[in-house]
Homo-oligomer: A and B are copies of this chain.
Amino acid sequence: MSDLVTFGESLLRLSPPGDNRLEAATSFEVQAAGSESNVAVAAERLGAVSTWLSKLPETPLGKRVVGELHQYGIRTDVAWSRTGRVGTYYLETGGDPRGSNVVYDREGSAVTTATPDELNLDQLRDARVFFTSGITPALSPELRETTKYLLQAAREAGTTTALDVNYRRKLWSPQEAQETLTGLFPGVDVLIIAARDAKTVLGFEGDHRQLAHKLASQFDFTTVVVTRGSQGALAWHDSVVHDQDAFETDTIEPIGAGDAFTGAFLARRLAGNDVQRSLEYAAATAAIKRTIPGDVARLSQSEVESVVSDGVPMVSR
């Protein structure tokens, strides 16, 4: 029985070493990466027993994804499939003004055909929190249905539900996203959303405090977390807004910081911390994550706590 169950896709992330370009790559670093598995890892590191649900083809590549996630310390409960691929994406990282670039190659992945009867729903019924992101319903019509079903099943079992909007413009249009996500919102207790997405996708306006208030009142969420990258985050909860600055950080890898934030926030809430304290842990986790190569928050709770209690550490020897 897990504290947190997440559902979604984990892809193979193929990335040229260093600052190399995709067109020049003679090798790729490979890593399992996906918003919901990232969230599970971050939560596990911050104290929550976490399980990732998904569907994968029974190939060496599918097995590789699960092996890597086990290495990070989480549990998995996967529907093994004879058809479908392991989704991939190609990531090229680069400084300004080049910027980083993602080439998705994830169509036809096994998880896009996942139906509720293939998944071990007892996992989410027995959990305390169920999490998925807005990426999942963006992947296929089947997954829109499945996501809705899972949120409902969790709700019915008394499991708190959490959703990170995580809008990806290369997957769907703002209009499609709005329509689908607002259809899911009635089943969601905790919403995490970037201020940018609240505006672009949902069409809300105002400063971040206003965004949180409006979202909470319109969709009746228990908690709304609005993230603003290097400008911090805030959470609406019980009609109160809690504000949190971002910690300063030397960014090695921006990708995965949002997932680390979310996982840490959920884990600390599960551990009984109040909203303000959980935000502080979440911001510190995200700051450390940005110093770690790859998508995943390979860090420990004690490292997060030493950032929370301030002191930027020197070389420790």
| CB neighbours of A307 from chain B (8 A) | 97
Are B68 and A99 within 8 A (Cβ)? Answer: no
The answer, yes or no, to whether A98 is at the interface (CB within 8 Å) is yes
| Contacts A27-B30, A30-B27, A70-B70 given; does A95 touch B61 at CB 8 Å | no
Are A105 and B90 within 8 A (Cβ)? Answer: no
The answer, yes or no, to whether A64 is at the interface (CB within 8 Å) is yes
| Contacts A70-B70, A90-B61 given; does A102 touch B288 at CB 8 Å | no
| CB neighbours of A14 from chain B (8 A) | 14, 28
| CB neighbours of A72 from chain B (8 A) | 67
| CB neighbours of A71 from chain B (8 A) | 67-68, 70-71
The answer, yes or no, to whether A200 is at the interface (CB within 8 Å) is no
Least distance between A86 CB and chain B CB atoms (Å): 8
The answer, yes or no, to whether A250 is at the interface (CB within 8 Å) is yes
| CB neighbours of A107 from chain B (8 A) | 85, 108
| CB neighbours of A250 from chain B (8 A) | 94-96
- What number of A residues sit within 8 Å (CB to CB) of B? 76
- A269-299 interface (Cβ within 8 A of B): 284, 287-288, 291-294, 298-299
Instruction: Give A104's nearest chain B residue, CB to CB.
Output: B317
Least distance between A257 CB and chain B CB atoms (Å): 11
Cross-chain pairs A/B with CB under 8 angstroms, 18 sampled: A14-B14, A21-B299, A24-B64, A25-B64, A60-B90, A60-B101, A70-B71, A70-B73, A86-B105, A88-B105, A95-B250, A96-B291, A97-B307, A98-B288, A98-B303, A101-B316, A104-B317, A107-B108
The answer, yes or no, to whether A207 is at the interface (CB within 8 Å) is no
| CB neighbours of A63 from chain B (8 A) | 23, 300
The answer, yes or no, to whether A168 is at the interface (CB within 8 Å) is yes
Instruction: Give A29's nearest chain B residue, CB to CB.
Output: B27
Interface string of A18-45 (1 = CB under 8 A from B): 1111111111111100000000000000
Docked complex Cα distance between A86 and B192 (Å): 35
Are B316 and A20 within 8 A (Cβ)? Answer: no
Are A60 and B96 within 8 A (Cβ)? Answer: no
The answer, yes or no, to whether A254 is at the interface (CB within 8 Å) is yes
Supply 7 further A-B pairs (C-beta < 8 A) apart from A96-B249, A170-B317: A21-B298, A26-B29, A61-B103, A97-B248, A97-B312, A100-B313, A254-B315
The answer, yes or no, to whether A247 is at the interface (CB within 8 Å) is yes
Cross-interface CB contact of A315 among B86, B99, B249, cutoff 8 Å: B99
Docked complex Cα distance between A28 and B307 (Å): 27
| CB neighbours of A90 from chain B (8 A) | 60-61
The answer, yes or no, to whether A143 is at the interface (CB within 8 Å) is no
The answer, yes or no, to whether A233 is at the interface (CB within 8 Å) is no
Interface string of A41-73 (1 = CB under 8 A from B): 000000000000000000111011001101111
Docked complex Cα distance between A317 and B168 (Å): 6
Docked complex Cα distance between A169 and B313 (Å): 14
Least distance between A151 CB and chain B CB atoms (Å): 24
